Amino acid sequence: MTPEQFLDGLSESRLVAIVRGTDGSAAAEAALAVMEEGFCYVEVALTTPDALGAITRIRASAPESCFVGAGTVLTEHDVHDVVAAGGQFIVTPALAGSIEAGASLGLPVLAGALTPSEAHGAMTRGATAVKLFPASLGGPSYLKALRDPFPRTPFVAVGGVGLKEAPAFWEAGAIAVGPGGPLVGDAASGGDLNALRDRARAFVALAARHGEGKRP
């Protein structure tokens, strides 16, 4: 998957799931569950125990149209570990050396940024898109203001974005939103997978309705 394909796919699906928990096996099960319910892009945070093992397991079992990446990727070493585990894209929480390292390997990079300077710096370093994080800090109005000087920069809203908040971020110009806790809950730590599936279906349905409303 090239960065261009990643960007096109993410813009179409409007969603990327953020899986972070206390158990790698449970995280893998949670990721596969949301994929089965319609999420095409899932990141597993490297702060999750045995995250790399989870990524390998997900990659081996994921539907053909689904992609797994790693979050909280900070260093060049992290990038190489993710690639070795089968990760297909990386996500950073901030401006870090992993941006250039990932871009140099041709990986899609979703780089964390909050301020105008950080957003510009992320794209300059080779990011495919900017992860506005934490998006809840400024809300949709902040994203809208941020896009005024950067109309061609693709933004993904992450951090405190649930079903209630997602439509406003899409309306403000986010190409996608990245639900974490509001989607996954405690499933990545061994919690209820059925409840997770219900939430995943709700997010996918919401994204589809928003997409239909945008078509001419």
User: Over 80: is that where the pLDDT of 193 sits?
Assistant: yes
Write down the pLDDT at residue 211: 75
Under DSSP, the state recorded for 188 is G
What confidence category does residue 215 fall into, taking pLDDT thresholds of 50, 70 and 90? very low
Cβ–Cβ < 8 Å for 27, 2: no
Q: Which helix (H) or strand (E) covers residue 201, if one does?
A: helix 193-214
Query: Please, which residues have CB within 8 angstroms of residue 72's CB and are 6 or more apart in sequence?
Result: 45, 46, 47, 91, 92, 93
Q: Please state, rounded to an integer, the average pLDDT across all residues of the chain.
A: 96
Structure tokens at 198: 């219900």
User: Over 60: is that where the pLDDT of 65 sits?
Assistant: yes
Residue 107's CB is within 10 A of a number of other CB atoms, namely: 26
Whole-angstrom distance, CA of residue 138 vs CA of residue 164: 16
Under DSSP, the state recorded for 15 is B
Q: What is the mean pLDDT of residues 156-164?
A: 96
Domains of the chain: 3-209 (3.20.20.70)
Whole-angstrom distance, CA of residue 157 vs CA of residue 206: 15
The catalytic residues are: 43, 131
Nearest of 154, 181, 152, 184 to residue 169 by alpha carbon: 154
Residue 79's CB is within 10 A of a number of other CB atoms, namely: 27
Residues β-bridged to residue 155: 130
Count how many residues are written for the chain: 216
Q: What is the mean pLDDT of residues 92-103?
A: 97
What confidence category does residue 213 fall into, taking pLDDT thresholds of 50, 70 and 90? low
